[in-house]
Structure 1
Amino acid sequence: MDWGSSWDFLWHFLIIFAWIAYLLVLFQILLDLFWRDRQTSGWVKAIWVFFLILFPWLTALIYLIARGRGMPEREREAAAVAKKETDTYIREVAGRSPSQEIADAKALLEDGAITQAEFETLKAKSLS
């Protein structure tokens, strides 16, 4: 058994693991900077990105130490906003209640846009 090739395999495995770990941290930092953090100015964001490219591990570590505590809070806020937008969209798409449909038909009847027979048809349709 050639131990040199086994150690080479282990070394390559560790390098690949470190690279994937760095990419995960990098994406979390970039998401936090550009997607969730609305208070930091563009210049500060550009400086963070510059140093992330120049000194990747050190900058990622400094970012996590300096701003890591706020990352989950900003993520929770972003999730709450996304949930609110989703709920609003679902309510808009789901349609209106039968009482809203009847009230709209009644307003059309009072305006003279529809006849009494059309109103009764719309009313029956919304109640079914």
Structure 2
Amino acid sequence: MDNYPLLNIFWTMLELFLWILWFFLLFKIITDIFRSDDMGGWGKAGWTIFVILLPFLGVLVYLIARGSSMTQRDVAQAKQADAAFQDYIRKAAGTGGGGGATAASGGHVDDLARLAELKTSGALSDEEYRRAKDKLLA
């Protein structure tokens, strides 16, 4: 242990952390290249070759040139996943997995979900939402 002082351990840990961070960023960029809809096959191939052959320069140029659209694609994918999950919840709630629900109650669940969406979007006031919900549940 005398030949490897504490400062060298710190620098080794820092280098390891930076390499892990670098590979994470590289894989993130490569996945973004392939999920991008606004690029054709040749563009994707060019960016992939550039990022693989000149990794440091390629990643920095990609972040400068397409960094903002990377964020937009991430947000769009998150919204799409959330919408799919919400749709799954609505379908699961409407099927009546407990055995006692009917198709009519599934319709009420969908109608209540639509009312809630209209209220959150601002299309319905609180009073209109309450009246429509009372009418639906009556």
Given the superposition, is the C-alpha separation of residues 13 and 99 from structure 1 closer, same or farther in structure 2, using an over 3 Å criterion? closer
Deviations 1:32-69 (A, max 9, x none): 2223x211112211221112211111111111111111
Rg (Cα) greater in structure:
1
SS in 1 for 2:4: helix
Residues 9-48 of structure 1 correspond to what in structure 2 (within 5 A)?
Answer: 9-35=9-35, 37-48=36-47
- Aligned-residue offset at 1:99: 5.8
Residues 1-128 of structure 1 correspond to what in structure 2 (within 5 A)?
Answer: 2=2, 5-6=4-5, 8-35=8-35, 37-96=36-95, 98=102, 100=104
TM-score (norm 2): 0.60
Gaps of 5+ in 1: 104-128
- Aligned-residue offset at 1:30: 2.0
Q: Is the 8 A contact 2:33 2:48 kept in 1?
A: no
Aligned residues: 101
Q: Is the 8 A contact 1:22 1:57 kept in 2?
A: no
TM-score (norm 1): 0.64
Question: Separation in 2 of the partners of 1:64 and 1:90?
Answer: 36
Higher RCO (C-alpha 8 Å, min separation 6): 1
Question: Separation in 2 of the partners of 1:71 and 1:62?
Answer: 13
AA partner of residue 17 (structure 1)? F
